[in-house]
Structure 1
């Protein structure tokens, strides 16, 4: 019997085989969560002009005056006015251009205004450059503001908008075909007979993929029939960038997925990983990646977090979101198997959930991913740092 791959070597095989997705240009308003494929550069200096950082008055600080005649108002969105005398000032608004001839802004809290005269309050002071955001003090024109490979969230999209970039080059989302199987599985909208169960995998997998902007999902369900399995997988191979299958990958008499995949996609890069749950996990590659996941809920979620999500992120050139955190409590291990446990993050520590079995989907409640605990003949002590894979 061929020895099982351990999780790291299994994923290394996945990683080495993965293609990179091509790019596409999309509208700014549709770019949230997508992966940037080109640098975003400042189209002009940031800020583009000397601007007031506070409401107040703009003055020439070259003399020691404490009272000025108000020459006018410098509002935001107006060209810069010009100061003609150092004994004058302009009332100025936050964000307004600094008037020509001024080199200091005194906040409104530090002055009193009476009959078009502005006076410095007692014990207040000022100096040249106060409360002025100078041209290009943040970034020069042409400077890269957002690097390729960045996930586009609100701050990055705001920067793009401020630079007038309304079309963005991003990674194209992979077309993912999700194939579930089993005569006992029915739609969540149906009432099950006593030998049937409602499908939960499609909802979970679609939620993981869509919430992370990792691809588009077409879901197909097949019965436990060899020809139906062959036809469905053959069709998916022609129109997908990645295939996920759940169930039917063990060695049961009606488990057709593994033998059909061998027929259509050749020898798997691995079939079986020394882990629990998810030991029967298989991975094939026939022009596209093919993940054959076991059918139990915890196996599906664990394998999605540990293998499929990192693979999709690599295909999209997205940054890794895998972290290493300490255990909040003692962690259960197995002597010869890696343990993948659903876990929550609280106060920067991992709290693994203890399921009754690999079909106990309620153990996933409030969990954000899985913690990976390497084989050991004793529990891992609280404080031990372990890798955490979000879903």
Structure 2
């Protein structure tokens, strides 16, 4: 199948060109993001799930509060509720209001009731005085420091947190524990969320072996599939693990074709460079289309993206660090969009470099880094050491990526650099 490339003059003019006549120029990271944004699939279907099953799912519609929260005006602490009158510091105790059990009837001037935290305030009461700030004399409650009382103190007003009819949670929210608690406070037992994406995943290469099996000469263990499985699971995807495929065009073709019928996305690692046994691009050109191939970044330059039918396909590099970096930069945004997080962007902060760093112009380098906060609240960052794309320990030690843009060949000590914290992914 022919390929339409948006980065070349031919692609910009709407022409199609052969898969193997692609421009040798690598796309910039920004160009790659723009191209991928233009090819974003629609968000997935919507389903209803029980509240306790909704953690890390993405809300598919706004939640409008059917009630006030709090539902009624109540006490913020244990004490005495009264209608405060300036100059009056002696009140007659006429009853008790407990959480879940209110006081029947209104308060008359000069009366008060004992209240516990969360108890509804009786009609007429507007102020709560802490029990430590009063003295009891029979049925009389004497306020010890009336000049310090502020009318309305220690009272939670009805609707103070959320008013009835107010939008409490918005579509596209990735649900954390606090969101579930808020939904529960509104009485929501079921939430509408986007379906979890089904992602078909496999590694390729005759040299790759599954962990737990003996290695022959010139063989390596399959690292990438397990790292990707973890990243996908963290994002909330349902992984379809297709194992390891040999360097055989027919088997790769069959696997990709079958995966396109059962998955919302397909991810492979290895087989997308220029080696004679790298069949991914060849098969992808036969079954679908390629939208991009090479990106000016390190690690991770050889990266294929396209479609098999309507199913997006990512062919990631073979080196383990390059796999994780390209997943974070390119696969993650598309998956989040499919899950309903349409306006998601990675967090970026500025930090002071604690050591010199080297790069190359006309590409973005993603060093693996460790950031920290000093006593003044300023972020600092250093690398994890050797930065080869095969050195997976550089990711194990890291808590962020250090982004050195295409205009810099080096970063001096004390210079400010951009970092991307790993956040919830690692």
TM range (shorter): over 0.9
For the Cα contact (< 8 Å) 1:328–1:383, is it kept in 2? yes
For the Cα contact (< 8 Å) 2:47–2:193, is it kept in 1? yes
2:93 corresponds to? 70
For the Cα contact (< 8 Å) 2:300–2:326, is it kept in 1? yes
In structure 2, relative to structure 1, the CA distance for the partners of 1:337 and 1:365 (3 Å cut) is: same
1:384 to 416, 419, 426: 416
Is 1:370 paired with 2:413?
no
In structure 2, relative to structure 1, the CA distance for the partners of 1:377 and 1:102 (3 Å cut) is: closer
**Segment drifting more, 232-241 vs 352-361:** 352-361
For the Cα contact (< 8 Å) 1:83–1:89, is it kept in 2? no
Aligned length: 389
1:130 corresponds to? 153
1:234 corresponds to? 257
**Segment drifting more, 146-155 vs 127-136:** 127-136
How much has 1:288 moved relative to structure 2?
1.6
What TM-score, normalized by structure 2, do the two folds share? 0.85
2:382 corresponds to? 351
Distance (Å, rounded) in 2 between the aligned partners of 1:59 and 1:42: 30
How much has 1:259 moved relative to structure 2?
0.7
Deviations 1:21-50 (A, max 9, x none): 222211111111111121112211222211
How much has 1:387 moved relative to structure 2?
5.5
4+ runs deviating over 6 angstroms: none
How much has 1:314 moved relative to structure 2?
2.0
For the Cα contact (< 8 Å) 1:110–1:124, is it kept in 2? no
Distance (Å, rounded) in 1 between the aligned partners of 2:256 and 2:387: 33
For the Cα contact (< 8 Å) 1:306–1:389, is it kept in 2? no
For the Cα contact (< 8 Å) 1:321–1:389, is it kept in 2? no
For the Cα contact (< 8 Å) 2:107–2:122, is it kept in 1? no
**Segment drifting more, 336-345 vs 141-150:** 336-345
2:7 corresponds to? none
Matches within 5 A, 1:89-168: 89-122=112-145, 125-168=148-191
1:16 to 26, 35, 38: 38
Is 1:265 paired with 2:288?
yes
What TM-score, normalized by structure 1, do the two folds share? 0.93
1:177 corresponds to? 200
In structure 2, relative to structure 1, the CA distance for the partners of 1:45 and 1:353 (3 Å cut) is: same
1:334 to 357, 360, 370: 360
**Segment drifting more, 73-82 vs 114-123:** 114-123
In structure 2, relative to structure 1, the CA distance for the partners of 1:110 and 1:282 (3 Å cut) is: same
Partner secondary structure for residue 302 of structure 2: coil
Distance (Å, rounded) in 2 between the aligned partners of 1:14 and 1:149: 20
Distance (Å, rounded) in 1 between the aligned partners of 2:318 and 2:421: 20
RMSD of aligned Cα (Å): 2.1
For the Cα contact (< 8 Å) 1:10–1:273, is it kept in 2? yes
* Gap regions ≥5 residues in structure 2: 1-22, 374-378
1:276 to 298, 311, 316: 298
Partner secondary structure for residue 5 of structure 1: coil
Distance (Å, rounded) in 1 between the aligned partners of 2:385 and 2:100: 60
For the Cα contact (< 8 Å) 1:326–1:383, is it kept in 2? no
1:28 to 51, 61, 67: 51
How much has 1:294 moved relative to structure 2?
1.0
How much has 1:263 moved relative to structure 2?
0.9
How much has 1:84 moved relative to structure 2?
5.0
For the Cα contact (< 8 Å) 1:322–1:387, is it kept in 2? no
How much has 1:2 moved relative to structure 2?
2.9
1:320 corresponds to? 344
* Gap regions ≥5 residues in structure 1: none
Distance (Å, rounded) in 2 between the aligned partners of 1:168 and 1:236: 30
How much has 1:352 moved relative to structure 2?
3.4
